[in-house]
């Protein structure tokens, strides 16, 4: 008789789903190999309790087994799959989950399936089986039916047309973490971090904040929980977006016409469409979008999954993948070895960042420089909010000073990002999009982007009226010889000889007469926003891009609150508690 396993509980939300159509490939009804027990559930967003035993939790919607069974694991094989299928043209956005469940006491086995469309009530089946071998057989047959692949050969999984794709998940060493967490519950340990640093670490490592911001980006964490999506799955997402990007570029060429008559336009269109006919390109784009949404699950509710057909839509999805990469890094930091009962979790996370974070005292000269830089470079077109500095920190990322490449023209520039990204940024530094990512989604190619206008970077923290806090970094950037561009160029990363960076020239800039130079020679372009001498530029404000991360040093971190002028009554309830804790802890 297997020993009863110790369990821990965390809170999650149920995933919405839908009864599959009769035309779906394979039979979505339970197999007749085992007896079937109905356990239909409503997938509306209600809080449920997840009981973790072993590497994978029992699906919380399996209410008959959630607290009395565990997901079968034998010889490092976890009998659990999550499948996904999105089809834009047919408005399909569905999933299929399967688990072999073994009772904690007695060892009886059953197979659990849940399937449906996001936004609708899930269909489920719980099948008690005569033996463990019988349960595994039912499980493997369903996997074969839904994917066209054999379970035993899933390491070489191939996506079949019209069938489900397998979402790769990294389950990690959950049992070891549970043991450490159990010990922590028995012994309350105080943090030794400065209060301001403690609050920062708690904010950027808050999984609920990550989940909230990912939901805002339409990511479906119920099908691919944060921290479980593998790097390979994210890479597949980038590859799908590369195909999307290629199709968008070719379609733009196709739609560009020349000549004054229809015959000339058709001839120009045929000449431009090197990737095939316009219809073929649209079909390729559709399939690439299906592949992307299948690999990177989204929750659009009952809405049709949108076609990614513009550079703006492409950039939105690239931002999602960047956020998922940083969250994957964040989870790896949180789960790093070194969990001990004599350290507060925030202290462990801080230690694992390998980044020295020191609060800048109130009234310090550098705090005034930073506050002036925020106030003076707030762009006049960003007039729906004001920025208030809550806390400033001095940063020293391990290894950055030694690796720094100084080509001259060192400036202190802004970089804004979502709260979800900062654990990853502080943990591994600022990174350039991977080789698999398309260039089209980046105005000046794949690089690290900065601004000398505080509110321009602040917009990339994506605040809302209910979450008015943002985080930005001030980085020392060695721009060297600058290649100035007035128009977008997605291949700008191919720098001319002798150039070290790109400036996307804006029609406005900080007044150079008030720039200051720090004691170490770094220039702070701090000044009121004035018109530049370049009136033909497409950008309103400057952007600076480097293509080698060794030209970057993280120097300061700034926590800001957005005073939303048009939504102040709504936002003040969220702002005041944060200001209070920041000042009093």
Query: Tens of pLDDT along 79-117?
Result: 999 999 988 888 888 999 999 999 999 899 999 999 998
* The pLDDT value given to residue 210: 84
Is residue 141 scored above 90 in pLDDT?
A: yes
* The pLDDT value given to residue 189: 83
Tokens coding 506:
């804006």
* The pLDDT value given to residue 302: 77
Report yes or no: 480 and 501 within 8 Å, Cβ to Cβ: yes
Strand partners, 510: 529
Is residue 459 scored above 70 in pLDDT?
A: yes
161, 124, 144, 117: which is closest to 18 by C-alpha?
Answer: 117
Higher-confidence residue of 19 and 278: namely: 278
* The pLDDT value given to residue 499: 97
Distance CA 496, CA 297 (A): 40
Q: How many CB atoms lie within 10 A of CB 208?
A: 8
Query: Tens of pLDDT along 412-448?
Result: 999 999 998 999 999 999 999 888 888 877 899 999 9
Q: Identify the burial level of 87 via C-beta atoms within 10 angstroms of its C-beta, where 0-12 means exposed, 13-18 middle and 19 or more buried.
A: middle
Higher-confidence residue of 45 and 170: namely: 170
Query: Tens of pLDDT along 369-398?
Result: 999 999 999 999 998 889 999 999 999 999
Q: How many CA atoms lie within 13 A of 356 on its CB side?
A: 10
Q: Give the pLDDT band (50/70/90) at residue 188.
A: low
Q: Give the pLDDT band (50/70/90) at residue 405.
A: very high
| Mean pLDDT for the stretch of residues 400-423 | 95
**Mean pLDDT comparison of 37-46, 177-186, 284-293, 341-350, highest-scoring range:** 284-293
Over the chain, what is the mean pLDDT?
Answer: 82
Q: Give the pLDDT band (50/70/90) at residue 570.
A: very low
* The pLDDT value given to residue 273: 58
Among 307-316, 327-336, 395-404, the minimum mean pLDDT is found in 327-336
Q: Identify the burial level of 583 via C-beta atoms within 10 angstroms of its C-beta, where 0-12 means exposed, 13-18 middle and 19 or more buried.
A: exposed
Among 2-11, 160-169, 212-221, 508-517, the minimum mean pLDDT is found in 2-11
Q: Give the pLDDT band (50/70/90) at residue 262.
A: low
Of the candidate CATH numbers 1.10.260.40, 3.90.228.10, 3.30.70.100, 3.40.50.300, the domain formed by 353-584 belongs to: 3.90.228.10
* The pLDDT value given to residue 304: 84
List phi, psi (to 5°) of 360. -85, 125
Instruction: Return the percentage of the chain with pLDDT > 70, whole number.
Output: 78
Q: Give the pLDDT band (50/70/90) at residue 583.
A: very low
* The pLDDT value given to residue 340: 58
Instruction: Return the percentage of the chain with pLDDT > 90, whole number.
Output: 54
Is residue 541 scored above 60 in pLDDT?
A: yes
* The pLDDT value given to residue 29: 43
Report yes or no: 508 and 541 within 8 Å, Cβ to Cβ: yes
Query: Tens of pLDDT along 473-509?
Result: 999 999 999 999 999 998 999 999 999 999 999 999 9
Among 69-73, 346-350, 535-539, 569-573, the minimum mean pLDDT is found in 569-573
Among 21-30, 297-306, 326-335, 482-491, the minimum mean pLDDT is found in 21-30
* The pLDDT value given to residue 376: 97
* The pLDDT value given to residue 42: 44
* The pLDDT value given to residue 184: 47
Is residue 328 scored above 90 in pLDDT?
A: no
* The pLDDT value given to residue 493: 94
pTM for the predicted model, two decimal places: 0.75
Query: Domain coordinates of the chain in residue numbers?
Result: 8-166, 353-584
Q: What angle do CA 157, 162, 165 make, to 5 degrees?
A: 35
Higher-confidence residue of 24 and 409: namely: 409
Q: Give the pLDDT band (50/70/90) at residue 53.
A: low
Q: Which of 102, 196, 400, 543 is catalytic?
A: 543
Distance CA 85, CA 92 (A): 7
Higher-confidence residue of 259 and 393: namely: 393
Residue 400 falls in the annotated catalytic set: no
Distance CA 475, CA 552 (A): 6
| Mean pLDDT for the stretch of residues 533-561 | 96
């Amino acid at each position: 008789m297997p020993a009863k396993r110790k369990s821990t509980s965390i809170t999650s939300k149920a995933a919405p789903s839908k009864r599959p159509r009769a035309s779906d490939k394979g039979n979505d009804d339970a197999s007749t190999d085992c007896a079937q027990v109905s356990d239909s559930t409503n997938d509306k967003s209600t809080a449920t309790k997840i009981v973790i035993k072993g590497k994978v939790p029992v699906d919380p919607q399996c209410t008959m087994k959630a607290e009395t069974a565990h997901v079968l694991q034998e010889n490092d094989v976890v009998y659990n799959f999550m499948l996904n299928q999105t089809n834009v043209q047919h408005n399909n956005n569905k999933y299929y989950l399967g688990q072999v469940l073994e009772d904690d006491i007695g060892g009886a086995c059953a197979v659990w399936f849940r399937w449906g469309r996001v936004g609708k009530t899930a269909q489920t089946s719980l099948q008690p089986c005569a033996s463990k071998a019988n349960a595994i057989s039912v499980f493997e047959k369903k996997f074969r039916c839904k994917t066209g692949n054999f379970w035993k050969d899933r390491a070489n999984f191939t996506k079949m047309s019209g069938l489900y794709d397998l979402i790769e998940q990294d389950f990690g060493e959950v049992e070891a973490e549970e043991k450490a967490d159990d010990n922590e519950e028995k012994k309350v340990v105080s943090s030794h971090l400065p209060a301001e640093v403690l609050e920062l670490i708690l904010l950027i490592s808050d999984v609920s904040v990550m989940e909230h911001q990912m939901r805002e980006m339409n990511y479906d964490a119920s099908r691919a929980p944060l921290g479980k999506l593998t790097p390979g799955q994210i890479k597949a997402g980038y590859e799908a977006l590369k195909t999307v990007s290629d199709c968008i570029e070719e379609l733009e060429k196709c739609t560009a016409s020349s000549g004054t008559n229809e015959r000339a336009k058709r001839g120009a269109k045929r000449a431009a469409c090197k990737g095939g006919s316009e219809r073929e390109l649209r079909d390729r784009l559709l399939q690439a979008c299906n592949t992307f949404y299948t690999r990177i699950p989204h929750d659009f509710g009952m809405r049709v999954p949108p076609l990614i057909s513009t550079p703006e839509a492409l950039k939105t999805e690239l931002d999602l993948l960047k956020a998922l990469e940083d969250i994957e890094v964040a989870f790896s930091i949180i789960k790093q070895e070194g969990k001990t009962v004599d350290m507060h979790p925030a202290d462990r996370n801080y230690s694992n960042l390998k980044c020295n974070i020191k609060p800048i005292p109130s009234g310090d000269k550098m705090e005034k420089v930073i506050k002036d830089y925020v106030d003076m470079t707030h762009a006049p077109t960003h007039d729906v909010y004001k920025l208030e500095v809550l806390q400033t920190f001095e940063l020293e990322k391990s290894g950055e000073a030694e690796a720094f490449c100084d080509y001259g023209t060192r400036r202190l520039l802004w970089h804004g990002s979502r709260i979800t990204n900062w654990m990853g940024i502080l943990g591994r530094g600022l990174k350039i999009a991977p080789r698999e990512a398309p260039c089209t989604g980046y105005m000046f190619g794949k690089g690290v982007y900065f601004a000398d206008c505080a509110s321009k970077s602040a917009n990339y923290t994506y605040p809302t009226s209910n979450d008015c806090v943002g985080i930005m970094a001030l980085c020392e950037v060695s721009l060297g010889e600058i290649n100035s561009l007035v128009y977008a160029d997605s291949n700008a990363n191919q720098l001319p000889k002798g150039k070290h960076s790109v400036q996307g020239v804006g029609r406005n800039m900080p007044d150079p007469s008030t720039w200051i130079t720090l004691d170490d020679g770094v220039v702070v372009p701090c000044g009121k926003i004035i018109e530049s001498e370049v009136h033909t530029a497409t950008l309103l404000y400057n952007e600076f891009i480097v293509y080698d991360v060794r030209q970057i040093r993280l120097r300061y971190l700034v926590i800001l609150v957005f005073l939303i002028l048009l939504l102040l009554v709504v936002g003040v309830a969220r702002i005041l508690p944060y200001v209070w804790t920041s000042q009093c802890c």
